Amino acid sequence: MPSNAEPLNLRHPFPPEEYAARRARVYDRLGAGAKALLQGAGPVRGFQAFRQTNDFHYLCGVELPQCCLLLDADSRAATLFLPPRDPHASSEGDVLGAEDAAALVAETGLDAVHDSSALADHLREAARLYTPFASAEGSQGSRDVLLHADKKVAADPWDGRPSREEWLRGLLAQRLPGLELADLSPVLDELRSVKSPREVALCRRAGELSAQAVLESMKATRPGLREYHLGAIADFVFAAGGARGQGYRPIIPSGANIWYSHYFRNDAELREGDLILMDCAPDLCNYTSDIGRMWPVSGSYSPQQRELYGFMVRYH
């Protein structure tokens, strides 16, 4: 089962100096007189756990809802804006809000923390404001899937809502007329594509957990189980390894389902003579992996299955 490695600190996967170095690279690309504004994830709309968006987490690591991060290229300062403490969330444990500015500055290494109501005053000083135009990646989200969903909503005659990013740009244009807006997404995409040693270590850990989940599932496979039983094994391996759920919905098709590359129902019975495909990965501090493997339910490849698997290995 999972290795004996120490569980990761999900709230602090990187030290403050790493986030500061990332922000410094953003300042270098913005130019004189420019600021950058990032909007974090909104409040959860149910009982699921909060998870910060990837770009926001990349630049400060703050895991709180309804935050904004303002970066000033001239002063090279980062300011966090967040609402006051939510009294309804007090039953969930320690709740941080704008009243905890000193503690948040000390914990995160940011330069200042203010109430969200003060953001507009700080934005008026900007000559040019960068903000991400691309949809923010959250739990089990990727850029292409989010873009596809945004297009479907926009084309729906009974919906048509803009994305959260479009809505923010509309508010900025309305409240700060004349402000020049520029797209921050290309800058962040370029920076995030090059991983630091700590990021590489997280990616490797995510890959190790994925491999452990597949190996344990192989050992447990037998006719009569259902596809979701193997998903439950992966859930345990990921949680025991310090992850918070799946990086994407697990793909565990068997038999005829195996032809659907993004099959997700995972409710069919495993049958003698069938192959099973397993494609799953953990969400490990906003980093994930992608490992897919195929094996026979019976535990032994038939000649035809062996030939088919050879085709897939050569294709890969």
Contact yes or no for 211/291 (Cβ under 8 A):
yes
Q: Residue 108: count other Cβ atoms within 10 Å of its Cβ.
A: 18
Q: What is the pLDDT of residues 144-184, one digit of tens each?
A: 999 999 999 999 999 999 999 999 999 999 999 989 999 99
pTM of the model: 0.92
Q: What is the pLDDT of residues 100-152, one digit of tens each?
A: 999 999 999 999 999 999 999 999 888 899 999 999 999 999 999 999 999 99
DSSP character string of 83-130: PPP-GGGGGGS----GGGHHHHHHHH--SEEEEGGGHHHHHTT-SEEE
Please give the average per-residue pLDDT across 75-85, as a whole number. 96
DSSP character string of 248-276: S--B--BGGGGG-TT-----SBP-TT-EE
- Give the model's pLDDT for residue 9: 57
Confidence label for 10 from pLDDT (cuts 50, 70 and 90):
low
Instruction: Kindly report the average pLDDT of the chain as a whole number.
Output: 93
Characterize the bridge pairing of strands 77-82 and 112-115: parallel
- Give the model's pLDDT for residue 91: 78
The structure tokens 């094994």 sit at 233
Angle at 68 between CA 62 and CA 74, to 5 degrees: 100
Contact yes or no for 52/39 (Cβ under 8 A):
no
Please give the average per-residue pLDDT across 239-257, as a whole number. 95
Confidence label for 313 from pLDDT (cuts 50, 70 and 90):
confident
Angle at 263 between CA 261 and CA 269, to 5 degrees: 120
- Give the model's pLDDT for residue 170: 96
| Statement: residue 2 has pLDDT above 50 | no
| Statement: residue 228 has pLDDT above 60 | yes
Of the candidate ranges 28-32, 87-91, 279-283, 291-295, the one whose mean pLDDT is the lowest: 87-91
